Amino acid sequence: MSLKIKKVLILGGGTMGQQIGLQCAVSGFDVTIYDINEDFIKKAEERLPRLAKKVADSGRFSHEAAKQGVKRVKFTTDPETAGKDADIINESVPEDPKLKGKVFAQFNEICPEHTIFTTNTSTLVPSMFADASGRPEKVCALHFHDLQLTNVVDIMPHPKTSEETLEIVRQFTKDIDHYAIELKKEYHGYVFNNMLSTLFSTALTLASREVASYEDIDKAWMGVLKAPIGPFGMMDSVGLETVWKITDYWANTLNDKQSKKNAEFLKKFVDDGNLGIKTRKGFYEYPDAAYFKPEFLKGVK
């Protein structure tokens, strides 16, 4: 292993791109966040200091480290500026294998030969777009969770990922203070997400079939497990557009009737612009969501 990573490029400045960029910057790396959309990149730049404070409040890192980290992040919509000296890429563009392949192919033309390309895909596998990168041996998944929840990260190679790439990525996860779960082979949804997507799909089926309200479904989960959040609260945190995109993609790929119904159920929220915590309204209204309050589970012992 010889590559010393200094510059990190994040592709996509949405929910995850901002969080991953922030964690890398707080850990001392120079970070560029690239997005195709001028408005979104402005919003990401405005939001980063607030996000940094919120994550520091959760105890992930100190407020001073957060402040210094924010200063290390650059924002751009110019691909040349973004990619020309990147050592590692982590892409967080929407969950669509064609789009992910397209951005990897685009940055293959711009980035130095040594640049490692990682994907933060939730449910796809890297071999679906590794060849499009023109450097499949330098591609693997590096998949993050919500920074405020955990520092667990998944590393997942595809059949052409080189051992050298994996070693560099393993070291990088340590350098950004993350704990890696390494998969032995490609598997859609990694480990935790596999369990989570089954939970989401079951919860959506119960709600879309009108078996119970989404509040009651969350109350069942929270009340029995003494958990601080239920599946619909978690979906608000992930972002309903992302949950819809993933549900819709797999519903069509597997031609599954119930999953299509679940996607339709989610689409109504997306069409109304209620995308979850990031728009302050999804299944619940934020910042004072009902499930944060003790009355939500009043009487549960």
Query: Which two structure tokens, joined as six digits, stand for 150?
Result: 């955990």
The side-by-side arrangement of strands in the sheet containing 88-91 is: 73-76, 30-34, 7-11, 88-91, 116-119, 139-144, 152-156, 179-182
Residue number of the CB atom closest to ligand NAD: 14
Which run of H or of E encompasses 220? helix 214-225
Looking at residue 161, the DSSP 8-state letter turns out to be: -
**Smaller CB separation from ligand NAD, 94 or 134:** 94
Among residues 6, 28, 37, 211, which is the contact residue for ligand NAD, using CB under 6 A? 37
Among residues 7, 8, 10, 14, which is the contact residue for ligand NAD, using CB under 6 A? 14
Among residues 13, 21, 69, 282, which is the contact residue for ligand NAD, using CB under 6 A? 13
Cα–chain center distance at 249: 16
Residue range at the interface with ligand NAD (CB under 6 A); choices 11-19, 127-135, 153-161, 223-231: 11-19
Among residues 242, 247, 262, 274, which is the contact residue for ligand NAD, using CB under 6 A? 242
**Smaller CB separation from ligand NAD, 81 or 213:** 81
Pairwise CA distance, residues 188 & 195, whole Å: 11
3 state DSSP class of 34: strand
Among residues 11, 22, 153, 168, which is the contact residue for ligand NAD, using CB under 6 A? 11
Going residue by residue from 205 to 234, which x/- string records binding to ligand NAD, judged by CB under 6 A?
A: ------------------------------
Query: Which two structure tokens, joined as six digits, stand for 251?
Result: 């519903």
Pairwise CA distance, residues 127 & 131, whole Å: 7
- Touching ligand NAD, residues 39-78 (CB under 6 A): 40
Pairwise CA distance, residues 283 & 214, whole Å: 8
Looking at residue 294, the DSSP 8-state letter turns out to be: G
- Touching ligand NAD, residues 93-132 (CB under 6 A): 93-95, 103, 120-122
274 binds ligand NAD (CB under 6 A): no
Cα–chain center distance at 174: 19
Pairwise CA distance, residues 160 & 128, whole Å: 12
Among residues 23, 32, 90, 92, which is the contact residue for ligand NAD, using CB under 6 A? 92
List contacts with ligand NAD (CB under 6 A).
11-17, 34-37, 40, 92-95, 103, 120-122, 143-144, 146, 238-239, 241-242
